[in-house]
Structure 1
Amino acid sequence: MKYLTNYSILLGIGITLLAFGCEQNQKAEAQSFETPNSANKRDISEAKADVKLDEIMLPENFKIDVWAADIPNAREMAISEEGVVFVGTRQEGNVYAVIDENGDGKADTKFILAEDLQMPNGVAYKDGDLYVAEVSRIIRFKDILNNLNDPKYEIVYDEYPTETHHGWKFIDFGPDGMLYVPVGAPCNICESEDEIFASITRMDVNSANPTPEVYIHGVRNSVGFDWDPKTGDMWFTDNGRDMMGDDVPNCELNHITEAGQHFGYPYWHEGTVKDPEFGDKGGPASDYVAPAAKMGAHVAPLGMRFYQGSMFPSEYKNKVIIAKHGSWNRSKKSGYVLTSLNVDGATASGEQDFATGWLDEEAQEAWGRPVDVQELKDGSLLISDDMAGVIYRVTYSAN
């Protein structure tokens, strides 16, 4: 583990207002967060991105720009109230704080908060502290905004499984204040004796002895979830198994209504497809929770959020926006897009493409892969891309 050189730092917070020409005459609020120089600070204001923004197709009056370049392997994002964006990585092993210092709508600075961690994909921010999920442990950077120059962490829990197959984790805090942590299946398809595999767990990080409990079962590999702001129910994406052909099974969007539910893996996929290896052991499909929506085979839906901002047109309010990372072994690639769905109670419907173009369909080559989506305070949408090493920002203006 590398520890970063200590430097003193004084943090100043300023709020700058930017006017966006929205049809509703709304004014969106852009945030700035100014920081002095320190050893782990990098200027990325002039960083170049190898991207093809002119190929990204969005609905009318939407625009996409590069918000931050030089963020290698950018994966899950979490945002502080001040607009500081924390970014995990999977292959890079680093965790970043990415900052728009002058409030111009583009990031100027990144702080390297940690290096050489084991697949620190997951990041979550709560009560001033940054939580990071590695394969087998959860770590915490206390009072992180006042310690960007000298980040140190403590171990919250270090007894998650060490298997790296589906070992990277997406994490977030639920409305109950608990930290939710998935534990993927340690394989493509297998039946594990340890109930913690193929689950989503949760823990009270403020208890004297934080210990995960298995919240739900039968989840092959979830790398994205959020809570419906209307009902408080949890929704999550799940990546379907491989090696059953190009079009089977569908990846899933699932809806949790109570603890202890089982979503089918490894016995049933997409609600109705019996697994050829383990299906006979699992009983009828009716014993399991069927997906609320089928996402397409091998599209790898990852980060998802309920849009709550006011920048986008009103029809986007409460829609789920999902990043589909894209297939890795399908004969014709699928995914590499953002989609949106309507959620009404327990029903998800009307999936539509929101952003496309990271995949050249004719050449079957991708130049980018969306991973996570997060909403800035002004209602614009950030999209991380682990292939291009950037974070995009999507804005809307009717003019």
Structure 2
Amino acid sequence: MNKSVFQLPLLGLGLLVACGGPSKEEKAEAQADTPADTVATATTAVKLPEPYATESTTKRSKVIGWPKGRTPVVPAGFTIQEYAGNFQSPRWAYVTPNGDVLVAESNTVPTNPKKKVVAALDLDPSKSLRATSANRITLLRDTNKDGKPDVRETFLSNLSQPLGMLVLGQYFYVGNTDGVWRYPYQAGQTKITGKGEKILSLPAGGYNNHWTRNLLAGPDGKKIYISVGSGSNVAENGIDKEERRANILEINPDGSGEKIYASGLRNPVGMDWVKGTGKLWTAVNERDELGDELVPDYLTSVQEGAFYGWPYSYFGQHEDPRRKNERPDLVKKAVVPDVPLGPHTASLGLAIYDGQAFPAKYQGGAFIGQHGSWNRSSFSGYKVVFVPFQNGKPNGGMEDFVTGFVANEKEKEVYGRPVGVTEMPDGSLLVLDDAGEKVWRVAAQ
């Protein structure tokens, strides 16, 4: 199709999705009051520029799909192949205790009238805005253990933007955007047949892709942890609109006993435990519109009761100029994250590798799915990165692991966009490519 047909609508899309930027006076004040700083983290010293050191830029990718025979790229000693395809935005995966793979198919559905038009006319080349969401969970089963599923069933449908999934006891749990549901479940069943119950309501709606609600059981199975992203970029609609958001919540398996486990986490999606330590870790998608290099997304251990800055500060006590002097008490107590993951990378997926199939270097480390930037003049993210751990703690910065998603940056073309990462019982790694409509499997040779 002629590219010129899309030029005006796509320009409009950038204006629609981006929030209003600061004035020149606000930029000058922010730069004067916030000198460049260096923050020491668990793995490295991070040099942070001044806010608005560069203009806030919109650069959206154009998803062109995977040509026949082309795959993402993995390091020497690994292979990657398509595990399953023909999905509608496969965003997250969960492996049941009996080894079935459940894939949540869901995506952003716009509520703004102008964005609805953009989605309905399929004018968003990044595939972030779609007119409808599949709202289903698909089951994949590999009965002959050849690394490819030979059973595929619709496990559960008619959901509300599902993401997190969990089997705990005799129940299957799903994190819809507006609440947590549970259904009677027996190991091995290929579809849910029993009636579900909503055990917890959650705040829905909001900015960008923050509709996702991930679920994670505690190490002893006595608690469930729920990630709830913010409803805005930096509370521009009022902090009163952010109740129970930008948090990791904790509940009992029946939905009772809700409490805020940690707060000030703008959009924590991926969560996992480091085995043997009792430490919860999360990958956090940070804020936009402060310039190309702000603010770094991050991987961090999650301290119970801790505050991580959003919306008042970022990466510790760096006060956001848009929330200046509002809560100095909270800025003072903001925790510095452990590992920076680059600005605007949309770091969403997380898997702490417990297996032994990968070389020793990777054992115990963290794999992070980076969905890719839109608020940066050059692409960042669009890959899966790895952070090495030693004795349950990071001992190095991130490095590339699965790449090759960018086809032609000059033309803004990408083949797909990785999101969730999930470890399989055989030690291989699944990578969910929601824009490319595929699930990839990475194995050690």
**Alignment match, 2:212:** 168
**In the alignment, is the contact (CA less than 8 A) between 1:215 and 1:260 conserved in 2?**
yes
| Offset from partner CA, 1:267-305 (integer Å, 9 cap, x none) | 111225321111322327441111101111110111111
Matches within 5 A, 1:307-318: 307-318=353-364
**In the alignment, is the contact (CA less than 8 A) between 2:87 and 2:105 conserved in 1?**
no
What one-letter code is carried by the residue in structure 2 that aligns with 1:172?
L
Change (3 A) 1:376 1:55: closer
What one-letter code is carried by the residue in structure 2 that aligns with 1:250?
P
**Alignment match, 1:94:** 136
Q: 1:326 aligns with which of 364, 372, 376?
A: 372
**In the alignment, is the contact (CA less than 8 A) between 1:292 and 1:348 conserved in 2?**
no
| Offset from partner CA, 1:186-218 (integer Å, 9 cap, x none) | 111105235412111011114xx6242111110
What one-letter code is carried by the residue in structure 2 that aligns with 1:297?
P
**Alignment match, 2:321:** 276
**In the alignment, is the contact (CA less than 8 A) between 1:237 and 1:252 conserved in 2?**
yes
**In the alignment, is the contact (CA less than 8 A) between 2:172 and 2:184 conserved in 1?**
yes
**Alignment match, 1:132:** 174
Q: 1:106 aligns with which of 140, 148, 158?
A: 148
| Offset from partner CA, 1:79-136 (integer Å, 9 cap, x none) | 1232101111222211111111332210123211232321112212223532111112
Q: Supply the distance in 2 between the matched residues of 1:197 and 1:280 (Cα, whole angstroms).
A: 21
**Alignment match, 1:83:** 99
Q: Supply the distance in 1 between the matched residues of 2:224 and 2:97 (Cα, whole angstroms).
A: 18
Shift of residue 348 of structure 1?
A: 5.1
Shift of residue 158 of structure 1?
A: 3.8
Q: Supply the distance in 2 between the matched residues of 1:111 and 1:353 (Cα, whole angstroms).
A: 34
Q: Supply the distance in 2 between the matched residues of 1:147 and 1:235 (Cα, whole angstroms).
A: 31
Shift of residue 162 of structure 1?
A: 2.8
**Alignment match, 1:389:** 437
Aligned residues: 346
**Alignment match, 2:158:** 116
**Alignment match, 2:307:** 262
What one-letter code is carried by the residue in structure 1 that aligns with 2:88?
P
**In the alignment, is the contact (CA less than 8 A) between 2:348 and 2:370 conserved in 1?**
yes
Q: Supply the distance in 2 between the matched residues of 1:55 and 1:69 (Cα, whole angstroms).
A: 13
**Alignment match, 1:29:** none
Change (3 A) 1:186 1:253: same
| Offset from partner CA, 1:224-258 (integer Å, 9 cap, x none) | 0111113120111111111112211111111123x
**In the alignment, is the contact (CA less than 8 A) between 2:365 and 2:389 conserved in 1?**
yes
What one-letter code is carried by the residue in structure 2 that aligns with 1:185?
S
**In the alignment, is the contact (CA less than 8 A) between 1:90 and 1:168 conserved in 2?**
no
Change (3 A) 1:218 1:82: same
Q: Supply the distance in 2 between the matched residues of 1:52 and 1:289 (Cα, whole angstroms).
A: 46
What one-letter code is carried by the residue in structure 2 that aligns with 1:171?
L
Q: SS of 2:397's equivalent?
A: strand
Q: 2:196 aligns with which of 128, 147, 154?
A: 154
Change (3 A) 1:216 1:52: farther
Shift of residue 167 of structure 1?
A: 2.5
**Alignment match, 2:424:** 376
| Offset from partner CA, 1:122-177 (integer Å, 9 cap, x none) | 21222353211111211123225454245334124242113344222111112142
TM-score, normalised relative to structure 1: 0.81
Q: SS of 1:395's equivalent?
A: strand
What one-letter code is carried by the residue in structure 2 that aligns with 1:350?
G
Deviates more, 1:384-393 or 1:156-165: 156-165
Shift of residue 219 of structure 1?
A: 0.8
Change (3 A) 1:324 1:150: closer
**Alignment match, 2:399:** 352
TM-score, normalised relative to structure 2: 0.73
Q: Does residue 264 of structure 2 align to residue 218 of structure 1?
A: yes
**Alignment match, 1:302:** 348
Change (3 A) 1:263 1:380: same
**Alignment match, 2:224:** 179
Structure 1: runs of 5+ lacking an equivalent: 1-48
Deviates more, 1:58-67 or 1:134-143: 134-143
Structure 2: runs of 5+ lacking an equivalent: 1-64, 108-133
What one-letter code is carried by the residue in structure 2 that aligns with 1:305?
A
**In the alignment, is the contact (CA less than 8 A) between 1:119 and 1:135 conserved in 2?**
yes
Q: Supply the distance in 1 between the matched residues of 2:406 and 2:372 (Cα, whole angstroms).
A: 9
Larger fraction in helix: 2
Q: Supply the distance in 2 between the matched residues of 1:162 and 1:268 (Cα, whole angstroms).
A: 24
Change (3 A) 1:205 1:268: same
**Alignment match, 1:62:** 78
Change (3 A) 1:274 1:71: same
| Offset from partner CA, 1:10-68 (integer Å, 9 cap, x none) | xxxxxxxxxxxxxxxxxxxxxxxxxxxxxxxxxxxxxxx94566452221111100111
Aligned-pair RMSD on alpha carbons?
2.1
Deviates more, 1:89-98 or 1:230-239: 89-98
**Alignment match, 1:292:** 338
What one-letter code is carried by the residue in structure 1 that aligns with 2:363?
K
